[in-house]
Amino acid sequence: MYRFFDFLRFDQVPDKPVGELPWHYPYGLLEKIWLVVWALIGLTGAVYREHIAASTELFGVSIAVIALVLILPQITIRLNQAAYGAGRIVVSVVSSWATYERSAQFLEAFRSTSYEMEMLLADRLLFGGNPSEWTEVLINPVLTEYLQLTYVSYFPMMLLVALALFFARKNRVLFRYLLAMNLAMVSCHFFYILVPVRSPFLIADDPQYASLISYSIPLQGLWWTEHLRQNLLDATVMRYDCFPSGHTMHSMLAIYFGWKTNRAVRAIVTVVGVSIIFSTIYLRYHYAIDLVAGAGFAVFWIWASAKMTAASWNDEPTPQPQLSQKVASVLQHFSGNRPD
């Protein structure tokens, strides 16, 4: 039992450890989080198998992801640190996407209500109306096309930051970025189940919301907008995925950590990230309260990821001895007066 709790300690992060290796090496905090999350998903699927559609598939995916998280680090750590870092990126991508898919199954099984009315009322209370309606004065085919393209570049943008940190060999920053992103993913999917909400564009034609939301100008782009919107709607398995705004949360994290990379990536991520955040309102995918919640979570995970890794990793390089200290050490060595 004590060994199990030691396994969950936050300060055991594999990074060329010196001395005796911990018994659970090479599993760091990132791997531990996904092992716990997927164990809970699999256990929930097994307990409520009569209520969850395709529960056998859910349990099988849980076993597969757990196997990936357990086996891949054992392979990559025997190669080199670069392979280990690349493996962590793979684990993050696979686990995050699979969690989104499984969240949809839980929603279908357990959702008893939805909270679109509460979101609309919250927007009215905080902002005096519906901000996505206000953006109708800005609607332009060129702007719509651009924002729709940036909206679907969400995952490539996050991956770009991870790859930039990886190739720059900023392993410590990469680990913290992956940790923050994965915790953000888990919190998003948890709240989608806890607070199911559909997008404004999905409820705009529903008579029960007519007094609170109404769009008079359709969103039309140049070439790809309609195609992308329909494909995105067809590809996503979840309709109740608004609160909090994952696009806002992850874009802010990508911008923050993108500024720890090179100038080109910094510029790309900043422009694309800000565009994505604005597009969530302009394209009628989110309520303004979703953005507020997403931004709050982003700030929290930036802070939490620093705290959780501070015990073992420091983003600052280890200070080197001053020249005078080196000279003094050499003189002591040759004079025979060695320090105690």
Spans of all domains in the chain? 1-110, 114-328
Instruction: Say if residue 15's pLDDT is above 90.
Output: no
Confidence of residue 153 (pLDDT cuts 50, 70, 90): very high
For the residues 46-75, what does the mean pLDDT come to? 89
Task: State the Cα–Cα distance between residues 50 and 43, nearest whole angstrom.
Answer: 13
The span from the first CA to the last CA of the chain, in angstroms, equals 42
For the residues 238-254, what does the mean pLDDT come to? 94
**Half-sphere exposure of residue 13, counting CA atoms within 13 Å on the CB side?**
23
pLDDT for 200 equals: 95
Instruction: Say if residue 12's pLDDT is above 80.
Output: no
Instruction: Say if residue 65's pLDDT is above 60.
Output: yes
- pLDDT tens track for 89-122: 999 999 998 998 888 888 888 888 999 999 999 9
Q: Which of 40, 83, 41 is nearest to 58 (CA)?
A: 41
**Within a 10 A sphere around the Cβ of 153, how many other Cβ atoms?**
16
List Cα–Cα distances, 43 to 67, 237, 269, in angstroms. 15, 22, 38
Q: What is the pTM of this model?
A: 0.84
Q: Is the dihedral of CA 320, 321, 327, 330 positive or negative?
A: negative
Question: Are the C-beta atoms of residues 280 and 248 closer than 8 Å to each other?
Answer: yes
